[in-house]
Each structure stands twice: as C-alpha cells, then as structure tokens.
Amino acid sequence: MTDILMIEDDAELGGLVRDFLMKEGFSARLCSAAETALALLSEEPFGLVLLDVMLPGMNGFETCAVIRKTQNLPIIMMSALTDEESKLTGYGNGADDYIDKPFSIKVLTAKIRAQLRRKTEPQQEEILRSCGIVLNPASRSVTKNGRPLVLNAKEFELLRYLMLHEGKALTRDALFDAVWGIDCFSEPSTVSVHIRWLREKLEEDPKTPKLIRTVHKRGYIFGEES
C-alpha cells in the first residue's frame, strides 16, 4: 500500500480526495500547512506527494523545492493557477506533474498511478559517462567535470535518455513518450522547456549549446559535434 501525503488547506476538498484515494487502496495523510508536512516527510516514508500551490505561509512552489532537495519521490502539484508560467514554475521547482483545479478525482488517480508505475519500473543501473558528464542512475546523481549538478526528476530522466542515445537525433515526441510517458497529461512542449533548463546547467554558453544540440526539423541530439 502506497502512503500518499496530501498538502491541501481546503479541508473539504482534501477530505474528499483523501477518502477517494483510500477507497482506491492507497493510504493517505492530509496536512493543511507546508511546515507540518515537511516535518512528517523527515520522519516517515511516503511514496508520493500531492501538493497544493496556494498554501498559507510557505507556498507550494517553495515547498516543492524544499522537498526536492532531499526526496526523490513523485510530486504532483494541484492548483487553480492554470497559466503556463505557473506550470513552468512548478516543473522548475521539481514537480513531476501538474493538475488544474477543479479536477476529476479519477484523472488525479490516473496521474498518481502513472507516476508510481514509472517510479517502480526497473531502471538501467549502468553509470553513463560522456563529455565530462557522469550520470549515476542508482544514486540519482550527475556531475559535470567533477562538479555536482542539481537536476529535478524530469531533467535527470531526460538527460539519461539523451545520453543512452548519444549521437542520435531524437524527436520531441519521442523524448516526451520516453520520459513523461504516453499516459501523461502534460504537453509535449514541456520537452523544449526542460531542454532549455538542462542547457543552462550543462553548457558553458546555453545560447550556443555544444552538448545538447538542436537538429533542424528533427529534434535534439546529445554529444559533442565531431
């Protein structure tokens, strides 16, 4: 049974979602404030976090960033802020998915199952080395010329997939299916955003990338140009 921590200050909505998830076979805990939830996360193991954005005190974006510093568990943000900038802020702070309020509880449950399924899928444990980058799937760590890099969950998986297919041009749709999954409710355009974030962390000059290059009308390719 997966333990889900829900951080939601709307008691009625939180109770409704919690009760439904418990009927679906999950164990669900409800917190109304980020500070209480962070204390729980430091003491108890959880399999997934549902995180509201507009919380009293520390907001959801800030909370997500704090969780991501120490936890690799899936985070799904829930918010009435449906604009693109808010969603990009959520992903940028380490969220794995983002669902607009009001939402269908069945759709939320599908998102939860999709995240948990990807979390439990066996991962290739081979350490990848190229262009000064060392990616270790077991420890979920990445270094560039010996310097540790902080990547969110999707940045890590995207870089891993690119490195596994070094020298091969990959379309945006192929990257989206491989990293986010065909059952994900995000948009394929998020690939371009995450590529930009990766370049900012990996490239000496993100405006003229040499490690993750754009291939005209094809997609993206990892590896230094020969």
When the pLDDT of each residue in the chain is averaged and rounded to a whole number, the result is: 89
Q: What percent of the chain has pLDDT over 90?
A: 66
79, burial (CB in 10 Å: exposed 0-12, middle 13-18, buried 19+): buried
- Within this chain, do residues 12 and 110 fall inside the same structural domain, yes or no? yes
Whether residue 218 has pLDDT greater than 90: no
- Within this chain, do residues 116 and 7 fall inside the same structural domain, yes or no? yes
Backbone phi, then psi, for 220, in 5-degree steps? -130, 150
- Within this chain, do residues 96 and 159 fall inside the same structural domain, yes or no? no
- Within this chain, do residues 157 and 200 fall inside the same structural domain, yes or no? yes
Whether residue 185 has pLDDT greater than 70: no
Which of 88, 120, 152 is the C-terminal boundary of a domain? 120
Domains of the chain: total: 2
- Within this chain, do residues 25 and 85 fall inside the same structural domain, yes or no? yes
Q: How many CA atoms lie within 13 A of 78 on its CB side?
A: 24
- Within this chain, do residues 88 and 147 fall inside the same structural domain, yes or no? no
- Within this chain, do residues 31 and 74 fall inside the same structural domain, yes or no? yes
- Within this chain, do residues 54 and 140 fall inside the same structural domain, yes or no? no
Q: Give pTM, 2 decimals.
A: 0.64
Residue 100: give its domain's CATH number: 3.40.50.2300
- Within this chain, do residues 19 and 94 fall inside the same structural domain, yes or no? yes
- Within this chain, do residues 104 and 13 fall inside the same structural domain, yes or no? yes
Cα(200)–Cα(207) distance, integer angstroms: 9
- What is the predicted pLDDT for the residue at 132? 95
What is the arithmetic mean of pLDDT over 191-201?
Answer: 93
Contact 6, 17 (CB under 8 A): yes
What is the DSSP code string of 133-179? Answer: EEEETTTTEEEETTEEE---HHHHHHHHHHHHTTT--B-HHHHHHHH
Which of 120, 144, 174 is the C-terminal boundary of a domain? 120
Q: Which domain holds residue 70?
A: 3-120
Whether residue 182 has pLDDT greater than 60: no
- Within this chain, do residues 80 and 153 fall inside the same structural domain, yes or no? no
CB-based contacts of 177, cutoff 8 Å, min separation 6 = none
Which of 82, 101, 120 is the C-terminal boundary of a domain? 120
- Within this chain, do residues 157 and 108 fall inside the same structural domain, yes or no? no
